[in-house]
Amino acid sequence: QATNEELEERIRAIKEEMGDRLFMPTHHYQKDEVAQFADIMGDSLQLARISRDNKKAEHIVFNGVHFMAETADILTDDDQTVYLPDLNAGCSMADMADIDQAVLGYERLTARLGEGILPVTYVNSTAAIKSFVGEKGGSCVTSGNAKKVIQWALEQERRILFLPDQHLGRNTAYDLGVPLEHMAVWDPIHKKLEYEGDDEDLRIILWKGHCSVHEKFFPAHIDQIRKKKPDVNVLVHPECTFEVVQKADYSGSTKYIIDMLKDAPAGSKWAIGTEMNLVSRLKDTYTHLEVESLNPIMCPCLTMNRIDLPHLAWCLDKIVQGDRANIIKVDERTAHYSKVSLERMLSIV
Ligand code: 13P
Ligand code: SF4
């Protein structure tokens, strides 16, 4: 079995040999051992844009999770191939909205509330969901542009079905002035609308999905840290629950979190509510700040963490050998309408 040094050496050599023909976009949650080889690091929005704009690379090795690689495939040209170093690197939130459930849910909601519900989906969703949304006139959204896209959706004066992350949907709509009483939750398992108000008042239906990593941050963590450090800044990802986001000082995408620390005054204290690889990197990078995880038991995204040195080296070796392994290819029809929903998002922001 190869040592880490040998694997690193191999990856470096392949990168050098392939030059611009190989491109490795890498999400901020990736482990350092993978991140060191990134051609570019970013949040989902940046990575979607960068993949769309890269016309040089024949081979795009995506260090992230499955939906991100699918998005890259949808947005790149036909002669560019996208790979995911481990096909098991999925996203548990994206898996919470299956296309059959979405079609059925939409039908039931239409039967109850009338035609014209506008579906909007977080990019953390399958290509099939993005395609469904695109075909119905809706848009994708990321945590980096959620406000602008949901504002656009509200201006369409239609009811919105927001998939699959109830928390991002609720947090953003609330910020834009939609009262909680005008939001409902669609439970796809029990096929039930959780809502006690008058149907006439309903503006946003939130799909009952969540991120298993961000749900591990609780309001009690904020109380504890503020007790210990009264001047701490609490900065969380908007996939955290409504209660956590309301209690925090700031919330935003991974890029927003990084930008906040870049500009922070020396000595300031930060408790971060997001995935642990990013929190550790922030701690190591901004040594003039006091950075810690909001949850003292650091929260990993287990699927992101599946991408490691052995998988990356193996994937690159296969490309060099001309072996078509671990390719992410969205079928033509699904790609057509999912591109519509992604491009709608990119045209709004
Ligand atoms: P960002 O788009 O903010 O990087 O978030 C992606 C993600 O999966 C967060 O859990
Ligand atoms: Fe999915 Fe949560 Fe992991 Fe992000 S952190 S990729 S939403 S499981």
Residue of 167, 304, 305, 306 best suited for mutating to test ligand 2, as the one with most atoms within 8 Å of CB: 304
Mean pLDDT of 200-224: 97
The pLDDT value recorded for residue 326 is: 97
For the entire predicted model, the pTM comes to: 0.96
Annotated binding site for iminosuccinate: 27, 44, 122-124, 143, 237-239, 254
CATH superfamily of 214-293: NadA-like (3.40.50.10800)
pLDDT score, position 124: 97
Give yes or no on whether 4-89+304-330 and 214-293 have one common fold: yes
Across the range 102-109, mean pLDDT stands at 98
Give the per-residue pLDDT at 287.
97
Average pLDDT over residues 269-276: 98
Average pLDDT estimate for 20-45: 96
Predicted local distance difference test score (pLDDT) of residue 48: 84
Q: Is the pLDDT of residue 45 over 90?
A: no
Mean of all residue pLDDT scores within the chain: 96
The domain spans of the chain are 4-89+304-330, 94-210, 214-293
Residue 245 has pLDDT above 90, yes or no: yes
Pick the CATH number of 94-210 from 3.40.50.720, 3.10.290.10, 3.30.450.40, 3.40.50.10800: 3.40.50.10800
Q: For residues 256 and 340, what is the distance between their CA atoms, to the nearest angstrom?
A: 26
Interval 175-191 mean pLDDT = 97
Nearest to 228 by CA among 142, 292, 175, 184: 292
Residue 114 alpha carbon to ligand 1 centre in Å = 33
Ligand 1 close to Cβ of residue 61 (< 6 A): no
CB of residue 213 inside a 6 A radius of ligand 2 = yes
pLDDT of residue 1: 87
Whether 106 shows a pLDDT value over 90: the answer reads: yes
* Beta pairing partners, 27: 42
46 in ligand 1 pocket by Cβ < 6 Å? no
Q: Where does the pLDDT of residue 317 fall: very low under 50, low under 70, confident under 90, or very high at 90 and above?
A: very high
**pLDDT for 258-269, tens place per residue?**
999 999 999 999
Q: Is the pLDDT of residue 212 over 90?
A: yes
Contact, 269 vs 229, CB < 8 A? yes
pLDDT at 85 over 90: yes
Q: Which positions ≥6 away from 63 have C-beta within 8 Å?
A: 24, 25, 26, 27, 30, 34, 35, 37, 38, 85, 307, 312
252 C-alpha to center of ligand 1: Å? 9
Ligand 2 centroid vs 91 CA: distance in angstroms? 5
pLDDT of residue 157: 82
Residue range 278-286: mean pLDDT, rounded: 97
pLDDT at 224: 98
Atom of ligand 1 nearest to the CA of 256: 3
Tokens representing residue 188 in the block:
């796809």
Question: d(Cα 123, Cα 133) in Å, to the nearest integer?
Answer: 11
Mean pLDDT value of segment 327-348: 96
The 10s digit of each residue's pLDDT in 120-155 is 999 999 999 999 999 999 999 999 999 999 999 999
Evaluate: CB of 145 within 6 angstroms of ligand 1: no
Q: Is 88 left (phi over 0), alpha (psi -120 to 50) or beta?
A: alpha
Q: Is it the case that residue 194 has pLDDT exceeding 90?
A: yes
pLDDT level of residue 298 (50, 70, 90 thresholds): confident
Q: Residue 309: which residues within 8 A CB-CB, separation 6 or more?
A: 4, 7, 8, 11, 33, 34
Q: Is 277 in the pocket of ligand 1 (CB under 6 A)?
A: no
pLDDT the model gives residue 349: 79
Structure tokens at 186: 């669609």
Q: Are 328 and 71 in contact (CB under 8 A)?
A: no
| pLDDT over 90 at 220, yes or no | yes
- In this prediction, residues 56-85 reach a mean pLDDT of 96
Tell me the pLDDT tens digit for each residue of 198-211.
999 999 999 999 99
Residues 161-165 have a mean pLDDT of: 98
With a 6 Å cutoff on the Cβ, whether 70 touches ligand 1 is: no
Residue-level pLDDT at 101:
97
Q: Which CATH class is domain 4-89+304-330?
A: alpha beta
Show the beta-strand stretches assigned E in 208-289. Answer: 233-236, 250-251, 269-273
Asked whether 211 lines ligand 2 (CB < 6 A), one says yes
In degrees and rounded to multiples of 5, residue 36 shows phi and psi of: -60, -20
Look at residue 282 in the predicted model and tell me its pLDDT.
Answer: 97
- Residue 320 CA, ligand 1 centroid: distance in Å: 31
